[in-house]
Amino acid sequence: MDAQGRGRDDIDPADQWVLNPQTGDYELRLSPSTGQSAPPGVPGPRGAAPRPPGRASERPGGRERGREPGRGQGREHGRRHGSEPGATGSREHGREQVPGQRRRRGAQPEPTAGGRRKQRPKKKNTGKKIAIWTGGTVAFVVVVAAVGGYLYYQHLNDNITAVSDDGAGTGGFSKDRAINILLVGTDKRSGSGNKGYGDEGSVGHADTTLLLHVSKDRSNATALSIPRDMITDIPDCPTKQDDGSMKTIPGSQQVRFNESLGQSERTPSCVMRTVTKITGIKLDHFMVADFNAVKTLSSAVDGVDVCLAKDIDDPKSHLKLSKGEHTIEGEEALAFVRTRHTVGNGGDLSRIELQQQFLSSLMRKLKSGGTLTSPKKMISLAEAGTKALTVDSKIADIMKLRDLGMELGKLDMKNLTFATTPVDDNPAEPTPVTVVLNKAKSDKLFSMMREDVSLTEVKKKEKKEKAAVAARLKGPKADPADVRVDIYNGSGKTGAAQATLAWLQNTEGVTKSSQLGNAPKNLGKTTLEYGKGEADQARRLAQLMGLPGAALKQGKSEKNAQGLPAMVLTLGADFKGAGEPISAPSKAPDGIQKVGADKTVCAK
């Protein structure tokens, strides 16, 4: 039994390696407790065995463990070290000398005294083989997993199609602010099996467009549908060409929104610019899906659940479903999101309702335990998503897409609301087939999204703090004629302070006001700082300008031109214009089309 087998805990791992004189190699000696036999010619646990280079036997004062003085001497011992008795490597006075040079690989064993080589029966070293096979197998699995993981990572990256955002976006999402993503469905007939839908060879349009806004604290989100037939202005669009040069595609006035993609060589970055122009929201990323995306993604999750309030037989979309609930995928799923003539009023707004129902159900399926715990489904989703989507170059990497997905995954589906941009029938058309923006309602809705105000009832974080902020607006308010305020422009908009001054004095009767030019630096949000005893003035000015409670800060007032204390109003980037409220409404305007993503609504 070796030293470790005798219960010694301080055994040097080097003691497990011994020299096999038949091969000239050092070999691993396992504990006899495993049931193994020593290889032919290999010394037993108590035999004197040299160590591999660098072991204790070669260090000054080094001493081998697992040996007993006076044991293992003699002729056979000398042969095992490649020397005869009396040569270097034998024991002298009970001390072992430095072993002789190791036998070269393939060298023959020393002959016995009779001149014949000593033959020993070969024994199977089962424990050693197990160790080799086990260690080798584990190493192989580890290497294959590492290489396979890297290759699959590269494979998914190769699936991704990326297009530049041409500077239309923010440069990428961030974990410390709200996330805004543009989702565009194109009616381009690319992909297998899509030529039969007509318009073969078409460059496509922005057929379905959603702006997904996720709040900074990830507590709520709004998915805003923008009607394809809405009349709007498309801005000039600087666009990167294949040779790396930039070309500005001229804008168009009073055309359908769907012309922002495909037409006149417009790319997804032009859709981004158009949406920003309409909503005032700058986008972080875009994702473009073709017909195949609907088919493959719905199949990857084993179908999407939908509900119909009546039978549908649409010869144009080829959808034929009976009243009730259904699980659809593939071609049937594509037919569902393309249907419009047999639901609602037969227009695009009715189709948007179907698309929102489909997407909310798909999102619920994606976040369900049955999907997240199924490797097969996750791999299918990874394949389908990377093949079917075109993304901006800022997230053209599977790891970046994963990071984005993890941020979006923090959202509770109960607090995701699907809404449709408020529109009216186009008054310029005798029989309207297009729509125009309802500015009164849409301005309020866009403002809520910009300010992270949820369209659903959300359990707000930091309730006490929010209540304290709201309380700043409650209480008595001074007469406008008694409000003294100095205005600074930190909005970055030329003439903002002068325009505000004129509006306050001429329209609201705040005659004790003055504007003092540009602020020392631009601010993201408007602030109103007031001194002790000026809270009533601050509340009145906040009411007149539509300032949120968060804009009010009690501090020190300054002296105005007359030497009297005056509040300090610094306009920020959220300033929209004189007389336009800065704070977002707390409630969505009446009449907008919206539904919670956690609810199933049967299409009529």
Q: What is the pLDDT of residues 238-296, one digit of tens each?
A: 999 989 999 999 999 999 999 999 999 999 999 999 999 999 999 999 999 888 888 99
Q: Are residues 33 and 175 in the same domain?
A: no
Distance separating the N- and C-terminal Cα atoms of the chain: 84
Which residue from 263, 265, 261 is spatially nearest to 246, judged by alpha carbons? 265
Contact 262, 211 (CB under 8 A): no
Contact 106, 24 (CB under 8 A): yes
User: Which of 274-283, 362-371, 545-554, 585-594 is predicted with the least confidence, judged by mean pLDDT?
Assistant: 585-594
Q: Are residues 441 and 488 in the same domain?
A: no
With DSSP H G I counted as helix, E B as strand and the rest as coil, what are the percentages for the chain, rounded to 5? 30, 20, 45
Work out the pLDDT band at 1, boundaries 50, 70, 90.
Answer: very low
Which residue from 132, 101, 116 is spatially nearest to 21, judged by alpha carbons? 101
Q: Are residues 186 and 284 in the same domain?
A: yes
| Higher pLDDT among residues 528 and 556, named by residue | 528
Six-digit token string for 128: 């050693």
| Higher pLDDT among residues 85 and 517, named by residue | 517
Contact 194, 289 (CB under 8 A): no
Query: Of the residues 418, 450, 482, which one is the last residue of a structural domain?
Result: 450
Query: Of the residues 108, 137, 155, which one is the last residue of a structural domain?
Result: 108
Pairing of strands 285-289, 389-392: antiparallel
Residues facing 172 on adjacent strands: none
Six-digit token string for 273: 């610019």
Which residue from 173, 427, 399, 420 is spatially nearest to 282, judged by alpha carbons? 173
Contact 175, 407 (CB under 8 A): yes
- Number of structural domains in the chain: 3
- Alpha-carbon distance of 353 to 604, in angstroms, equals 10
Cβ within 8 Å of residue 281, ≥6 positions away: 180, 211, 213, 275, 446, 449, 450
Q: Are residues 424 and 489 in the same domain?
A: no
Q: Over the Cα atoms of the chain, what is R_g? A: 39
Helix (H) or strand (E) holding 380: helix 375-388
pLDDT in tens, 286-344: 999 888 888 999 999 999 999 999 999 988 888 899 999 999 999 999 999 988 877 87
- Eight-state DSSP code of residue 8: -
Six-digit token string for 197: 């839908």
Pairing of strands 246-249, 237-240: antiparallel
Q: Are residues 76 and 177 in the same domain?
A: no
Please indicate, yes or no, if residue 151 is contained in any of the structural domains: no
- Alpha-carbon distance of 285 to 212, in angstroms, equals 10
- Eight-state DSSP code of residue 98: P
Per-residue exposure over 97-106, b if at least 16 CB sit within 10 Å of its own CB, e if not: eebeebbeee
Q: Enumerate the H helices of 389-534 as residue ranges.
A: 398-408, 439-450, 463-471, 496-506
Per-residue exposure over 201-218, b if at least 16 CB sit within 10 Å of its own CB, e if not: eeebbbbbbbbbbbbeeb
Work out the pLDDT band at 45, boundaries 50, 70, 90.
Answer: very low
Query: Of the residues 63, 79, 108, which one is the last residue of a structural domain?
Result: 108
The pLDDT assigned to 128 comes to 55
The three-point CA angle 495-498-502 to 5° equals 135
CATH of the domain at 487: 3.30.70.2390
Q: Tell me the three state secondary structure of residue 205.
A: coil
This prediction's pTM: 0.64
Q: Are residues 53 and 190 in the same domain?
A: no
319: alpha, beta or left, given left = phi > 0 and alpha = psi -120 to 50?
A: beta
Q: Are residues 400 and 504 in the same domain?
A: no
Please indicate, yes or no, if residue 430 is contained in any of the structural domains: yes
User: Which of 94-103, 310-319, 593-602 is predicted with the least confidence, judged by mean pLDDT?
Assistant: 94-103
Cβ within 8 Å of residue 167, ≥6 positions away: 238, 269
User: Would you list the DSSP string of 565-593?
Assistant: EEEEEEE-TT---TTS--SPPSSPPTT--
- Alpha-carbon distance of 515 to 425, in angstroms, equals 43
Pairing of strands 206-214, 179-186: antiparallel
CA distances from 564 to 370, 488, 510, 559, 560 (A): 68, 17, 15, 5, 5
pLDDT in tens, 130-189: 555 555 555 655 565 666 677 888 888 899 999 999 999 999 999 999 999 999 998 875
Helix (H) or strand (E) holding 101: none
Q: Are residues 58 and 104 in the same domain?
A: yes
User: Which of 23-32, 291-300, 508-517 is predicted with the least confidence, judged by mean pLDDT?
Assistant: 23-32
CA distances from 102 to 42, 86, 89, 105, 483 (A): 14, 18, 11, 9, 100
Q: Are residues 434 and 494 in the same domain?
A: no
Please indicate, yes or no, if residue 23 is contained in any of the structural domains: yes
Please indicate, yes or no, if residue 138 is contained in any of the structural domains: no
- pLDDT of residue 12 exceeding 80, the answer is no
Please indicate, yes or no, if residue 316 is contained in any of the structural domains: no
User: Would you list the DSSP string of 416-430?
Assistant: EEEEE--EEE-TTSS
CA distances from 484 to 12, 430, 512 (A): 85, 53, 5
361: alpha, beta or left, given left = phi > 0 and alpha = psi -120 to 50?
A: alpha
Domain hosting residue 377, numbered range: 165-298+346-450
- Count Cβ atoms below 10 Å from residue 53 Cβ, excluding itself: 9
Q: Are residues 418 and 512 in the same domain?
A: no
**For helices 439-450 and 268-279, angle between their N-to-C axes, nearest 10 degrees:** 100
Helix (H) or strand (E) holding 489: strand 485-489
Please indicate, yes or no, if residue 130 is contained in any of the structural domains: no
CATH of the domain at 287: 3.40.630.190
How far is C-alpha 279 from the chain's CA centre?
24
Please indicate, yes or no, if residue 122 is contained in any of the structural domains: no
Q: Are residues 505 and 359 in the same domain?
A: no
Please indicate, yes or no, if residue 543 is contained in any of the structural domains: yes
Owner of token pair 């299409």: 603
Helix (H) or strand (E) holding 286: strand 285-289
Alpha carbons within 13 A on the beta-carbon side of 427? 3
Q: Are residues 376 and 482 in the same domain?
A: no
Six-digit token string for 138: 């584990």
pLDDT in tens, 349-391: 888 888 888 998 998 888 887 887 888 888 888 888 888 889 9
- pLDDT of residue 103 exceeding 80, the answer is no
